[in-house]
Structure 1
Amino acid sequence: MVRTDLPLGILKEAAWNPNQLDEKTLEKLKQSIKRYGLVENLVVRSKDGYFEVLSGNQRLKVLAELNLQTVPCIVLELDDSEAKLLAQALNHIHGVDDLGLRAQLLREILSQIKQEEVLLVLPESSDNLTSLASIGQEELSVQLQNWQQSRLTKLSHLNFQLTNDQKKVVEEAITRFIPFARGNKSDNPTLRGQALYLLCQSYLGKE
């Protein structure tokens, strides 16, 4: 394992990378990197004259948009199977928040940083952020209500397997519904997710 800075031009996204971010979340990632810089190295492996990114493919897209010249990386020597296994591990090993501690942390953040700036970086809606931050500050019944609200407004990811032709149809349908999503108030801050929801809602309403 070697830690080094590599030119952006020789880094390439893994073609088999299944991890994707919607446009809204990608923008939040960009805001985070612009505010704090790249605080987590990319994990890469050497392959056929370039370096394939195993962890950090979404960060790579943002870094390209920001025109960075070099990127701090951890270089590993792995075969295809080990590389894919490591990528899955790095992308999908997550813990579970202690809501009380997270609420306290958010209150401390919001006492020093404006909510609008916090929402640029965190993947939360305004209502969800308010609900989370208020946990521990109200009576028990209100705390439970806020906890339930935070669970309801937490965004979930759906994964679909589509052929190229099917993907074109789905993309076109979502694109057509984006103008409706822009004018629709929702707890979902992702425009494409809201458009998909309204499309499904419209279909079910016509049954």
Structure 2
Amino acid sequence: MTLDLMDLAVVSMVCSSWRDACQDPCLWGGNIFDLTKWTRNRRIPTLSSKTVGLLLSLLNLSNGQAHCLIFQFQLYLDNHTFYNVAKRSPNLKRLVLPGWVPDITKNGINLALEQWKGLESLTVTNTLVAPHFLKAIGKYCPNFSELKLTCHLTRNLATTMAKHVPKLKVLSVQSVRVNKSALVYVLKKLK
């Protein structure tokens, strides 16, 4: 019970009985996959193929019980990795996106969020992809209730938010520029 995720990944490779022990649901309930600790001290924080393999292996061990996934802000994430992570974490409740996601397409976002039907909270760090995420959330995630923005609140984003996540209960806007008309729009349109 004192092992962290990295330890579990290593221990699970010892033998089949240790792997079985590492798959025990009591180890994974509410587990937080915090990738900020995995990519520290790198000049260009990318998920190497080894790190991606480790993450996917851990998600497999968790048998879909991962509830929170936090990507490092400066991490580069592509469509393929994003979808594979989503496929292995269908019970995800909270997602913190990296800031650099140029290779995640609208289709990739839809494929991933179709896996995350129970998603309740999202931290968005990129203004360009935020509307695509909100549209997919409106389509696939009926229990979604919390949006944290660490990207600019624009009028386009406010309009998309009001249209696609009208049942939003919590909106957090931190350390970003806020367009006054966008903020007024959100306050008027969302209960």
User: TM-score surpassing 0.5?
Assistant: no
Q: TM-score range by the shorter chain?
A: under 0.3
More helix by share: 1
Q: Which structure has the larger Rg? A: 1
Q: TM-score, normalised by structure 2?
A: 0.24
Identify the structure with bigger relative contact order (alpha carbons < 8 Å, sequence gap 6+). 1
